[in-house]
A and B are shown apart, each in its own frame.
Chain A
Amino acid sequence: MEVPILKQGSYLIATVQSALSDADLVQLRDALVERVGRFRARGVIIDVTALDVMDSFATGTLSDVAQMIRLRGAETVIVGIQPDVAFSMTHMGLTLQGITTTLDLEEGLSYLERATGSVSRR
């Protein structure tokens, strides 16, 4: 299932709405990297609240997204990792090293406002 990406001010917000296949994750990565340029976005939020698992492929792909978007000159925040998912990732040894995560969308937006010096509404 394709992940909808909303543009809000100078940010892009991708909200995962169901379990994602590997192809869906790759599609999300490519769409975000392309749209950061098209919309001249300063920040990207990926909301994974509804994601059922963060396995090695999901973790690796989201790390790649954040790294690619940073190379494109924007900031990425991953928000909404659920307690069970965080527990499972930690036991597996999966980390999102060097990637900003926040509790939820609200925290993610306020992080981006501080980090990019821009606001979500304008």
Chain B
Amino acid sequence: MRSAVVASEVRLTVESDIDVVTARMRGRTLAAQMGFPPILATIIATTISELARNILQYARSGEIVLRPVEVGSRLGLAVEARDDGPGIPDIGLAMQDGFSTAGRLGLGLPGVRRLMDEFEIHSISGSGTMVRVRKWLP
């Protein structure tokens, strides 16, 4: 049972830019422990960095949850980013390349979708955002 050897979930509070760095480093370590090759561990770390920054930028604080997942014979790493911020009024717009309300590149969320195998976003205007992504072990 491969799932028996992997770590349990890691919950990380995000409320400063140091927390963004800590979260992505924890993600890289967990990915390496689970057997992800370095190239995918970098992809996972980059994803966590983008999601954690979004929390900070749009909601000021929130949480990143890293969780090993097993579906059938596949083992993967799930990253969940949750906040109680203002939510995203137009998810379609937020997922477009080059769109940013913060004056940045606007490649964060669409970039994360390209990096990961699965991508889900739920946002309710006025009560927060949840992004859940997964990467499967090759």
Contacts and interface: CB of A to CB of B under 8 A. Distances in A.
Interface of A: 19-23, 52-57, 59-60, 83-85, 87-88, 91-94
A108 to B, nearest CB: 22
Given A21-B17, A94-B107, 17 more contacts: A19-B21, A22-B17, A52-B28, A52-B45, A53-B45, A53-B46, A55-B46, A56-B104, A56-B107, A56-B111, A57-B104, A84-B39, A84-B41, A88-B43, A88-B46, A88-B115, A93-B97
Interface in B38-72: 38-39, 41-43, 45-46, 49-50, 53
A94 B105 contact: yes
Contacts, number: 74
A84 B43 CA distance: 8
B108 interface: yes
B122 to A, nearest CB: 22
Q: 5 shortest A-B CB distances, which residue pairs?
A: A92-B111, A84-B42, A21-B17, A55-B49, A22-B17
A52 B108 CA distance: 17
Contacts of B106: 56
Contact of B114 (A23, A59, A84, A93): A93
State which size class the interface on B falls in: 20 to 34
Interface of B: 17-18, 20-21, 24-25, 28, 38-39, 41-43, 45-46, 49-50, 53, 97, 104-108, 110-112, 114-115
Contacts of A83: 39
B21 A87 contact: no
A85 B38 CA distance: 10
Contacts of B28: 52
A3 to B, nearest CB: 14
Nearest to B42: A84
A85 B39 CA distance: 8
B107 A91 contact: no
